[in-house]
Amino acid sequence: MIVVNTETIPGMRIVETRGVVQGNTVRAKHVGRDIAAGLKNVVGGELKGYTELLTEARRQSFERMIAQAQQLGANAVVNVRFATTAVTSGAAEMYAYGTAVVAQQGA
C-alpha cells in the first residue's frame, strides 16, 4: 500500500478512484502518565508520554484508514490528511482520511 499526502504518486498513474477512506480513534494515557506530564511541566522539556499518545493514536487511525482502502481494493491512498480534536483532558482524537485509488506503474 502506497500512502502519500500529495495528490499524485511519482512514476505512477492513477487509473481508478475508489473514494474517501477514513480511520479514527480516541486514545488516552493512564493516569500515571498524566501525573508524570504534570511534573514534567514544572521543569520544561518534551512531554514524551503525550508524544507517544499522539504517535499511537496516529498509527491506529492510519491502520484503520488503510484497512478500509484494502477493502475497497485500492493499492494506494493519496492526499492523506490528519485532523485532531480535543475530546477530553489528556485524550486525543485522531482522524486520518485520504482518497483510495488504484495506481499503475508508468506516468
d(CA 56, CA 74) in angstroms, rounded, equals: 24
Residue type, 4: V
> In angstroms, rounded to a whole number, what is the distance separating the alpha carbons of residues 50 and 90?
8
Q: How far apart are CA 14 and CA 7, in angstroms?
A: 10
Q: Is 104 in the site for other proteins (CB under 8 A)?
A: no
Q: Could you say whether residue 44 binds other proteins (CB under 8 A)?
A: yes
38 binds other proteins (CB under 8 A): yes
Binding flag, residue 18, other proteins (CB under 8 A): no
What sign does the dihedral 16-19-23-24 (CA atoms) show? positive
Least distance from other proteins to the Cβ atom of residue 11, Å: 3
Is residue 53 within the footprint of other proteins (CB under 8 A)? yes
Q: How far is the CB of 19 from other proteins (least distance, A)?
A: 19
* Closer Cβ to other proteins, 2 or 17, answer by number: 2
Residues 1 and 73 sit within 8 Å (Cβ to Cβ): no
The C-alpha cell at 31 is 493516569
Residue 89 sits in the site that holds other proteins (CB under 8 A) = yes
Instruction: Name the residues that contact other proteins, by CB under 8 A.
Output: 2-12, 37-38, 40-48, 50-51, 53-55, 58, 80-82, 84-92
